[in-house]
Copies of this chain bind each other. A is one copy, B any other.
């Protein structure tokens, strides 16, 4: 037994409330080290031998070094004192907050109140603290639209020098094609046919650039795209078709032409907006840069979200689009550079306007600090993105490593955050999936199939479903191809089918997930998704040669060859 490998932290992703009556308790051990792991638990105010329960835990995730055990328990009085019991051969070790002991559980205490018995504790399950993302996200299939490039529905709004929109159009960093909100309204039937249930829009507020991440007015649709009435109409029409709408909140920084920043540039220390940013000294200088920015980009001054006026302004924005326009969620740009306190207020504001709104952080790294129930519902799941690409598309890692990297995310967050994680494979910031796959549509389909059968909410980048190509920005931002002869309609049918498969079977959305096969040096995997109705066993081969995979414990059932030749 390797005691050094064992890890647990009370009140964390290792011990959290899954719902108002259920706790999830997890513990880490060295891979394949234990015969049996159990949690030994009772009420903290009645922790006496005949009222202590021992419940066996199950391995729910693995990587090359560790096994991760989990168990769900409903403590009758919502209070929970616990320890762990590890068994291997003849040896039994107990572990509580005081430390490890052999053979029997030790307690340390002097009196009722004196740490009843040195146990770990989940002191009380208060409903208000439970992390509860909106239920609809589990069932959602997202579709990302870059508004300037999806469809031109109102040519009267075209900016000067709008380029022709054809299947051969070449995007540059600063050209325009005339995409707008009416274009999206006009094509809702297309989205409905594909089967998607929520549009994620990159910003459409007034801004200077074609990507609109350099906001000028957060309360106004960019005139190139329409006006706030068009936005309202879009949301209403989408809702009628069962399609929700999520917007992009760029609250970390404003654009250069944001009037308060312009005021600071002009009036310097005398500007009434001087505290809206992080200016280190006056006069403001872009070279050398003497104010905080996104990255080192002078055109994107970081907003001072600690300032009362800035907070009030941004919270007004957050409320306006949800309350007045009816949008269903916010995706938060560069979310991890804005203060936690702001995001807590943001959550309160948005959920007061619509308790069912989805709050999604753009974070590329471990995000546990934002997923404790007080800030975000979920984050953009880049580690899963990279793992899927590395295994299915780039062929860079083996099955064990793929499992390890995915399962690391399972232990990294509470289950409810993973159930609504935003699983994308590409975006306006990356090369397109088909580009990364070097045109290999088989690999692209494997990746998409995994995405659509894995935990979390999948998101398809506009045009991927019809075979659009393109490298990193600006290549990935081509205008949507609407001429059917240049669309890959077979690919479209494939996407439509796997979306429908997911929608038809709750087990593929919030069933349990478990790898059945993911071995070192192998290129194939098998995994299972199970709920009370269905048990899916999905086998996928990312290698170039045929594989024979043996799955034990199979009952006779329906088999469908979703994709492939074998």
Contacts and interface: CB of A to CB of B under 8 A. Distances in A.
B336 A126 contact: no
Contacts of A11: 366, 368-369
Interface stretch (A106-114, A164-172, A214-222, A444-452): A106-114
Interface string A381-407: 011001000100000000000001100
Interface string A413-450: 00000000000000001110000100000000000000
Contact of A123 (B123, B336, B431): B336
Given A3-B65, A341-B129, A46 B296 contact: yes
Contacts of A10: 365-366, 368-369
Q: Which secondary structure dominates chain A's binding surface?
A: loop
Interface residues of A, number: 67
A374 B295 CA distance: 27
Nearest to A30: B4
A344 B347 CA distance: 14
A115 B364 contact: yes
Given A296-B45, A366-B120, A429 B4 contact: no
A77 B382 CA distance: 24
Contacts of A180: none
A121 interface: yes
Interface string A337-372: 111111010000000000000000001111011000
Contact of A111 (B124, B296, B340, B429): B429
A129 to B, nearest CB: 5
Given A113-B364, A344-B344, A127 B382 contact: no
A365 B12 CA distance: 14
A554 interface: no
A121 B305 CA distance: 20
A562 interface: no
**Residue among A4, A5, A66, A296 with most chain B CB within 10 A:** A4
Given A2-B2, A110-B431, A126-B339, 15 more contacts: A3-B65, A4-B5, A9-B368, A11-B366, A77-B292, A97-B366, A108-B386, A108-B390, A111-B430, A111-B431, A114-B364, A128-B306, A129-B339, A129-B341, A341-B374
14 contacts: A4-B4, A7-B7, A99-B405, A110-B431, A113-B364, A113-B429, A114-B386, A120-B366, A121-B364, A121-B366, A123-B337, A123-B363, A123-B365, A124-B336
